[in-house]
């Protein structure tokens, strides 16, 4: 038998983290104040269905006292074993139509076969159709004396107000980490499992406040043996070591994009879940933001992690922590839609480093206004000087940020304005004016940063994944009708160079430039001074569109 079924609460005293619900129901049963309909709402795995069964047992128990079922009489045993014909559980996700509810209404009229009450438990009630809710409404308003309805849902806002008003509503809360640890220790003791304290802590965090998820995760890990270690939990559940999350963020805060990307790529190669890694990055950045805002520990964590969080918080400002949090939240959304899960993490890392002025894209809009493009001759300091007392040995500051390069057209030179206008007779040795360009000259197809932004935007409308790749590409060279794009990684080069993708880029480049051109892609080091200038405000808007 599964752990979560084996250790399901069998009396109200076994409910974890729902003291307000337990005490209210026990008082009602002691004083014979039973409602004809209840609505249980809250996150998954917090005890809604278990509480519904406890109510059914208590109402029909033959020997119970003080509001608790005895769990020994025939009625209690039948309900615990799922054999009672007077307890009807309905999955609204599978039986959501009006016909099923009409059948239920017919069934309600008949008296219970053996029990005192007939109890109807409708799980995920928010999945019912509007017509089904309307059919249920009258029955809920005036049910027979022998009928009790218990509606359970994770999304109470989808239940019509007319239904809610005819029920007693109970909101189930997420179970605290301490409550889950106490519960898991009991399960481990009952199963004779030897679990490392840190491993148990990881499982409790992974459960996100649901005791069903917590005990299911423990069962999954315990399948490998009676001794559960941190390493086992990490390998079986695909959890990233916290130190790798801290190292990844330290690389970003110190504007070391290469180191941050290597950490993410190594984790991906080792089979770690990028969605889980992104989630853990968000959690750490959130705690850093809270600490920066309050200068107090308004969150729970281990002593070691708290030390690392406070150290990292010295490297950034509160505004930067908010921006980085926003970047990785968007990355989490993108992870749901892309086939290659490493790419959103890489994109988020590069954009986060850009907050500190390390690479060739400007800072996000929160650091500048749309009306004034960023013009920097020296990098913006990556972090505020106040509040930083010396360097940190674990996460040292980066002393000299890499100077930003600007992407401007390599062929079109800014002409010097002569003091006195002169009339010059054109000869073969004299340079032609821009107005005299011919269609065959490289300048005729030169992409400005604004034009490249337009190409990316047009691509996004037809192929969002390709547009995300192009966001990190730069036009770096022009040769007659050939435009060369530079990228930093082999994977980006391989994907962009696929024939269907090249054709799509050429199509939109022609639409933007008004001329046909060929596209080539190669790996390029953006830290070097390259021919094509650095991006401006329009490139930032394109990046926002891709992430948005």
pLDDT of residue 529: 39
The string of pLDDT tens digits covering residues 70-111 is 989 999 999 988 889 999 999 888 888 888 888 888 889 889
pLDDT at 260 over 70: yes
Phi-psi region of 530 (alpha: psi -120 to 50; beta: other; left: phi over 0): beta
Q: Which residues contact 246 (CB under 8 A, 6 or more apart)?
A: 284, 308, 312, 395
Both 154 and 14 in a single domain? Answer: yes
Q: Are residues 339 and 295 in the same domain?
A: yes
pLDDT, position 427: 40
Q: Is residue 68 part of a domain?
A: yes
Q: Are residues 219 and 348 in the same domain?
A: no
Domain final position from 334, 352, 367 = 367
Question: 20 and 161 in one domain?
Answer: yes
Do 59 and 182 sit in the same domain of this protein? no
Q: Does residue 79 share a domain with residue 161? A: yes
Residues 157 and 22 in one domain: yes
Q: How many domains does the chain have?
A: 4
* Inside any domain, residue 88: yes
Considering the chain, what is the average pLDDT of its residues? 78
pTM of the model: 0.57
Q: Does 408 map to a domain?
A: no
CATH label of the domain that carries residue 263? 1.20.272.10
- pLDDT at 437 (0 to 100): 41
CATH of the domain at 527: 3.30.300.180
* Domain presence at residue 404: no
Range with lowest mean pLDDT among 1-15, 349-363, 527-541: 527-541
d(CA 320, CA 293): 12
Residue 420 buriedness (CB in 10 A; 0-12 / 13-18 / 19+) = exposed
Kindly state whether residue 423 falls inside one of the protein's structural domains. Answer: no
Residue 305 has pLDDT above 60, yes or no: yes
- Same domain, residue pair 147 and 231: no
Same domain, 55 and 157: yes
Boundary (domain end) residue, out of 191, 219, 237: 237
Separation between Cα atoms, residue 125 and residue 93, nearest integer Å: 8
116 with 192, same domain: the answer is no
Residue 162 sits in the same domain as residue 262: no
Q: DSSP string of 59-93?
A: HH-SS-BTTB--S-SHHHHHHHTT--TTEEEEETT
What CATH number is attached to the domain comprising 12? 3.40.50.300
Taking residues 282-305, report their average pLDDT: 87
Residue pair 115/62 in contact by the 8 Å Cβ criterion: no
Question: Are 238 and 271 in contact, with CB atoms under 8 Å apart?
Answer: yes
* Res 537: pLDDT: 54
Look at residues 107, 97, 124 and name the one whose alpha carbon lies nearest to residue 39. Answer: 124
Name the band, by pLDDT with cuts 50, 70 and 90, for residue 446: low
Residue 108 burial (10 A CB sphere; 0-12, 13-18, 19+): middle
Is residue 388 domain-resident? no
From 237, 267, 285, the end of a domain falls on 237
What is the residue range of 318's domain? 242-367
Q: Which residues pair with 90 in a beta bridge?
A: 122
The answer to whether residue 434 sits within a structural domain is: no
Co-location of 480 and 538 in the same domain: yes
pLDDT at 161: 93
- Tally of CB atoms within 10 A around 241: 14
CA dist 48 and 150 (Å) reads 10
Stretch among 170-184, 204-218, 423-437, 518-532 having the lowest mean pLDDT = 423-437
């Amino acid at each position: 038998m599964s752990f979560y079924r084996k250790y399901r609460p069998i009396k109200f005293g076994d409910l974890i983290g729902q003291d307000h619900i337990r005490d209210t129901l026990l008082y009602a049963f002691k004083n014979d104040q039973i409602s004809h309909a209840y609505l249980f709402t809250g996150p998954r795995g917090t005890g809604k269905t278990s509480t519904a069964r406890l109510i059914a047992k208590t109402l029909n128990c033959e020997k119970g006292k003080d509001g608790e079922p005895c769990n020994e009489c025939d009625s209690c045993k039948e309900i615990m074993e799922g054999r009672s014909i007077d307890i009807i559980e309905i999955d609204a996700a599978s039986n959501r139509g009006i016909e099923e509810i009409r059948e239920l209404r017919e069934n309600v009229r008949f008296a219970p076969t053996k029990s005192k009450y007939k109890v109807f438990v409708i799980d995920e009630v928010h999945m019912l159709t509007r017509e089904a809710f309307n059919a249920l409404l009258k029955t809920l308003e005036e049910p027979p004396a022998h009928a009790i309805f218990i509606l359970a849902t994770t999304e109470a806002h989808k239940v019509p107000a007319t239904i809610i008003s005819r029920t007693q509503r109970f909101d189930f809360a997420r179970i605290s980490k301490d409550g889950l640890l106490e519960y898991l220790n009991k399960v481990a003791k009952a199963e004779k499992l030897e679990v490392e304290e840190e491993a148990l802590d990881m499982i409790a965090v992974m459960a996100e406040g649901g005791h069903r998820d917590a005990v299911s995760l423990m069962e999954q890990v315990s399948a490998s043996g009676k001794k559960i270690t941190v390493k086992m939990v990490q390998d079986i559940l695909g959890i990233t070591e916290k130190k790798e999350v801290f190292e990844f963020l330290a690389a970003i805060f110190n504007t070391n994009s290469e180191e941050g990307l290597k950490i993410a790529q190594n984790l991906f190669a080792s089979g770690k879940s990028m969605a889980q890694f992104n989630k853990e990055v968000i959690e750490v950045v959130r705690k850093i933001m809270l600490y920066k805002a309050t200068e107090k520990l308004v969150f729970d964590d281990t002593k070691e992690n708290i030390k690392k969080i406070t150290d990292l918080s010295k490297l950034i400002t509160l505004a930067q922590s908010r921006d980085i949090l926003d970047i990785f939240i968007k990355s989490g959304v993108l992870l749901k839609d892309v086939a290659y899960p490493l790419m959103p993490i890489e994109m988020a890392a590069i954009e986060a480093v850009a907050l500190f002025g390390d690479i060739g894209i400007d800072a996000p809009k929160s650091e500048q206004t749309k009306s004034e493009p960023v013009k920097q001759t020296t990098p913006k300091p990556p972090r505020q000087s106040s509040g930083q007392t010396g360097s940190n040995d674990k996460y040292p500051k980066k002393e000299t940020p890499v100077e930003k390069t600007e992407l401007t057209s390599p062929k079109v030179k800014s002409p010097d304005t002569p003091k006195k206008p002169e009339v010059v007779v054109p000869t073969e040795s004299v340079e032609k004016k821009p107005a005299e360009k011919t269609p065959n000259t490289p300048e005729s197809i030169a992409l400005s940063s604004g034009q490249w932004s337009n190409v990316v935007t047009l691509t996004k409308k037809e192929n969002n994944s390709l547009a995300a790749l192009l966001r990190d590409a730069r036009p770096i060279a022009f040769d007659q009708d050939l435009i060369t794009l530079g990228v930093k990684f082999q994977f980006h080069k391989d994907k962009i160079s696929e024939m269907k993708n090249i054709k799509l880029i050429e199509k939109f480049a022609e639409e933007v430039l008004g001329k046909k051109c060929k596209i080539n892609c190669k790996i390029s080091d953006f830290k070097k001074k390259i021919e094509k200038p650095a991006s401006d405000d329009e490139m930032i808007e394109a990046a926002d569109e891709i992430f948005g």
